[in-house]
Amino acid sequence: MSMGDCKSMRPEMEGEDDLIAAARNIARALGSKKNLTDGEREILANLGAQLSTMISLSEKKGEKIGDIEDRLNSIQERIMSWEADQSMIWDSGPNESLEYVKAVEEARRFVERLEGLCLNKDDQEYEVLQKAHDVLQTAMARLEEEFKYMLVQNWQPFEPEHMSFRSSEEDIVDGSSIISFGDDSFEDSLHRDSVSRASEEVVIDLVHPDVVPELRGIANLMFNSKYDQECIQAYTSIRRDALDECLSILEVQKLSIEDVLKMEWGCLNSKIRRWVWVMKIFVRVYLPSERWLGDQIFGELGPVYLDCFVEASKPSMLQLMNFGEAMSIGPHQPEKLFRILDMYEVLADLLPDIDGLYMDEAGSSVRIECHEVLMRLGDSVKATFSEFKNAIASNTSTNPVAGGGIHPLTRYVMNYLRTLTDYGETLNVLLDDCDEGDSISQSPDTSPTTEEENKSTDTLGRISPMLRHYRSLVSTLECNLDDKSKLYKDASLQHIFLMNNLHYMAQKVKGDELRLLFGDGWIRKCNGKFQQHAMNYQRASWSSILSLLKEEGIQNPGSNSISKTLLKERLRSFYLAFEEIYKSQTTWLIPDLQLREDVQISTSLNVVQAYRTFVGRHSNDISDKLIKYTADDLQNYLLDLFEGSSKSLQNSSRR
């Protein structure tokens, strides 16, 4: 600053006294009103500051040191008078706050004028300047206190129950766990939480709008007085606590990564679902509102409001991201895949909003952290999907399923895949760079065979990543089931077991979205497989019995005449064999009613027809005493097979 700049220069203004008097009258008139509008409050605050400026500018040039000290003492006395009062200035009414702002503004301009003199320590005015700094510092400390008090006292409670983003109460508070891998009750327990795709922001008043003009006036005064850092720190401290309180209201706990990793799945499952819900509210409602509040208070002071927003919201965002990171590094258990996908999808959906909120350099650390957590969640999805396939392949059983019914693993896997189709778009993106064996996609047994199935291919004819992995999983399941079938000693029961499970797989694919993914060609192939096992069952169970009803071996030696003794023995052997099959296969189970009827009818056509033909052909050689069961009896008895309950012909009431 040049010597000329250091001189105190005050322009002479014509009619200054009249103008000041008029301004004072306006201020008194506004101050006397009981209910001021927001606009009137702001005018009153600005008028006080301008009035103080006008008074300062009207002072005569070249005041004596004694006059300067007298003016400072007057300002100090006015400022210190409020220090003795324990009540808050802005609670005392607009007149009190206006007078205080005027006094502080005078102190600020007094300091500014003395600093403009470029004083040395030897100058008489230097000691006055130091005293003026002390007075201004006292005033700034009081303004900071008032500023924080107004922010806290006028905080408006956040009421998330009124937000449209919230799903049903059961979805939020339900803490039931997803059933562990292979559990038979998985089918009834599994459902996907809905993830709202609403992208519009909702802005609410986090601080009562009536006090925003006063807060803005205090901020401007502190910035003009070069106490900007104190103002920023006070604001960010209060708003950081408010955001922390918001998460507390939303029932988000502060958890370390270690806490999350040690948590029981039932509790963790509930917290994940809440996290998904909270993220949508926090990013699309609370953060835009927080940024808007900062803009209202600091917007006139440049981009500083963005820094305030970042500093206030960063800890809460990192707390939420910390939970996401903990989930991404936890054990890759198949049961957790759906919840991790929910987290991935909601974060991916919110990233454009987050990038927009933290678009400046100050917010880069938050942006980067959110993108990194999303990437880690995606990696966790891929690792968990791979672990799911490994779990299918390594699933072992020491005991076979009773009656050759549907294995829990089959139910689990097919319902798992069915639910995963809801995440098809996400899975196609995440699994695109995962090699799952090109041989599977090129195998003639699994590649698309119809125009409809080609919907699952891209423009280059490549199978979608999701379908490629699904087929690999199903192929792994079939291999595992084939191994499990060997636990049955009876070859016929092995075929019943495989028939049941392949039929269940085909029905699951046929019934919903899986059909669009696998296609009708895959269903036909699967149908062919379980039908082949049904035929193999017929041969393994009934071929030896039906051979007893053939003509060979019942003639007398050396002639073509029928031996009644051999005929009697044949019938007796047939009845014994039939009774043995009846006793064992009534305990076997075909859960699907239509499939059971189909197998029963097919068996009846073969057995009953052969029996009726055999008995009819030899009716002249067989007495009624030898006929233990009629053809109708056999047909009725065959209807008892595969119902899973033990029966015996000796106890049967049918005849």
Burial of 654 (0-12, 13-18, 19+ CB in 10 A): exposed
pLDDT band at 23 (very low <50, low <70, confident <90, very high): low
Distance CA 252, CA 585 (A): 56
Query: With bands split at pLDDT 50, 70 and 90, how would you rate the model's confidence at 443?
Result: very low
Give me the residue spans of the domains in the chain: 3-153, 160-380, 402-539, 550-651
| pLDDT attached to residue 156 | 87
**Buried b / exposed e across 288-316, counting CB within 10 Å, b at 16+?**
bbbbbbbebbbeebeebbbbbbbbbbbeb
Higher pLDDT, 119 or 55: 119
Between these two residues, 437 and 419, which has the higher pLDDT value? 419
Name every residue whose Cβ is closer than 8 Å to that of residue 549 and which is 6 or more positions away in sequence: 570, 574, 610, 611, 613, 614
What amino acid occupies position 304? Answer: V
What confidence tens digit (pLDDT) does each residue in 631-655 have? 999 999 999 999 988 888 764 444 4
The top-scoring range by mean pLDDT among 21-25, 128-132, 297-301, 345-349 is 345-349
| Residue 259 CB neighbours (<10 A) | 12
Alpha helices, DSSP H only, in 486-519?
Answer: 491-511, 513-518
- Flag whether pLDDT at 526 surpasses 90: yes
| Highest mean pLDDT out of 126-135, 251-260, 473-482 | 473-482
| Residue of 355, 339, 186, 366 whose CA lies nearest to 270 | 339
The residues with which 4 forms a beta bridge, in sequence order, are: none
Mean pLDDT in residue range 429-449: 55
* 2 pLDDT more than 60: no
Bridge partners (DSSP) of residue 643 are 589
The domain 550-651 is placed in CATH, from the list 1.10.10, 2.70.70, 1.20.1280, 1.10.3470, at 1.20.1280
Residue 16 pLDDT: 47
pLDDT (tens digit, 9 = 90+) per residue, 377-402?
Answer: 999 999 999 999 999 999 998 899 99
Contact between residue 242 and residue 206 where contact means Cβ atoms under 8 Å apart: yes
For range 289-298, the mean pLDDT: 94
DSSP 8-class letter at 592: S
Q: How confident is the model at residue 616 (pLDDT cuts 50, 70, 90)?
A: confident
Other Cβ atoms within 10 Å of 131 Cβ, number? 16
Smallest CA-to-CA distance from 324 within 344, 352, 348 is with: 344
pLDDT at 552: 76
pLDDT at 294 > cutoff 80: yes
Distance CA 78, CA 97 (A): 12
User: What residues have CB less than 8 Å from 546, skipping those under 6 apart?
Assistant: 606, 607, 610
The rounded distance, in Å, linking the Cα atoms of 96 and 629 is: 111
Q: Can you name the residues that pair with 457 across neighbouring β-strands?
A: 463
Q: What one-letter code names the amino acid at 324?
A: G
Unique residue bearing structure tokens 């089931």: 481
Q: What is the mean pLDDT of residues 427-445?
A: 61
Q: Which long-range contacts (CB under 8 A, 24 or more apart) does 162-170 make?
A: 163/202, 163/281, 163/285, 164/198, 165/196, 165/198, 165/277, 165/280, 165/281, 165/284, 165/285, 166/277, 166/281, 167/193, 167/194, 167/196, 167/277
Q: How far apart are CA 106 and CA 102, in angstroms?
A: 6
Rg (C-alpha) for the chain, rounded Å, is: 43
pTM for the complete prediction?
0.78
- Characterize 42-53 residue by residue with b for buried, 16 or more Cβ atoms within 10 angstroms of its Cβ, and e for exposed: bbbbebbbebbe
Rounded CA-CA distance 532/405 in Å is 17
Percent of all residues in the chain with a pLDDT value above 70, rounded to a whole number: 76
pLDDT value, residue 236 = 96
pLDDT surpasses 70 at 189? no
Biggest distance spanned by C-alpha atoms of the chain: 156
Is the pLDDT at 153 greater than 80, yes or no? Answer: yes
185 secondary structure, DSSP code: T
Q: Express each pLDDT in 501-525 by its tens digit.
A: 999 999 999 977 888 889 999 999 9
**Low-confidence winner among 50-64, 412-426, 527-541 (lowest mean pLDDT):** 50-64
Distance CA 189, CA 169 (A): 17
